Every structure is written in structure tokens, then in C-alpha cells.
Amino acid sequence: MKIFCVGRNYAEHARELGNEIPEEPVIFMKPSTALLPVGADFHYPVFTKDLHYEAELVLRVAKRGSKISSDALTYIDAITVGIDFTARDLQAELKKKGLPWEKAKAWDQAAILGNWQAIPEGEIHFSLKKNGNPVQQGSTNYMIFPFDFLIAHISQYFTLEPGDLIYTGTPAGVGPCVVGDELEGYFEDQSVFSLIIHA
């Protein structure tokens, strides 16, 4: 299983971190070990003092595809909300040195996945609450690059296989979390995951 992630896919999020609006998708990857196992506790990593949540819509790949040019949406069969956790202080150090981000983004259990949902037609809304308070709200209407474009673009470089995941980018509102915080992700009005941060 491969985990593809899309950076800066919402203009307001790019601006809040002082990044340029991309002209093509910013793609990075996480290993399969980055996915928090179902039922496992999430622990605050010891190598960061500035852990940030980033809620995202996540797509599940249903069939093998390479260099897709049409019918891109037929290659996915489910959707949910997840979190792409980021060690923001570590990421800043790596970016300053011009180094890759993997240590800040792809560490063990850095990816959270909610319960899978059928893919609806039209605009999709999602949100994240921290300790019961809304902190992020997103909509597919505000994505720079829509699902079909992302699927086709990724497939020009990497063969998609059943079970692969695509984290499609986070909206504005990312921020820090600490031990004891509870994060809850919503797909439309339905809660799809609830996570407590342990020491």
C-alpha cells in the first residue's frame, strides 16, 4: 500500500503557512507504517514540540491504473476524512536546509484514517473539531486541484494499485495539539473518527 499526499491544495492554507500557490500538485508520500492501526492509541512523538493536525479528505484506490487520461474517478471506490500529522518545528528546520520533509511528515503513525464512506456526487464538506470546538472546515469546491485531476496526475508518475490512499490536501485552520487533546473528524455531518492524543 502506498500513501500519496497532496500539499497546498487549498489556497488559504498555502497562504497561512506563507507558501506560494502551486501551479501543479505538490506530491509527497508516506510509507504504509505511517498509518495508525485500527484501534491503536496515538502517541505524541518524542522528536517534536510542535505537532500540528491537518484534516483532509482521503480517497481509496479501487483498481490498478497508470497514466490515466480519462474516467479518473472510476479508479476510487470510497472516501473518508483523515489527518496528516506534521511535526511543524522539524519541518521548518528541514525546509530551511532544503532537505526532504519525510522525517516531519512520514513517521510511524503520522496518518489517521476515518471510517470509509460512499463517494457522493457534488460538493463534499468535511471538518475537524478539537476538544469539541471547530478548527477546520473544508469543501471540495475550494480545492485548487479536484479529485479527477489529482488521480490522473499522480498516475503519470506512480502506478496506482488497489488499497492505495490519496490524502487530498488540508484547508486553512491547521494548528498545534498537545497531550490530552481530542480530535474528531466529520464527513458532512457524520463523525468518522475520534482520537485522543496520549503521552
Q: What is the DSSP string of 2-17?
A: -EEEEES-BHHHHHHT
The CATH classification number of 3-36+56-61+74-198 equals: 3.90.850.10
pTM (predicted TM-score):
0.95
SS3 90: helix
Instruction: Specify the amino acid at residue 106.
Output: A
User: Is residue 19 pLDDT above 80, yes or no?
Assistant: no
Q: Where are the domains of the chain?
A: 3-36+56-61+74-198
Q: What confidence score (pLDDT) does residue 21 get?
A: 78
User: Is residue 182 pLDDT above 60, yes or no?
Assistant: yes
Give the C-alpha separation, 178 to 192, whole Å: 21
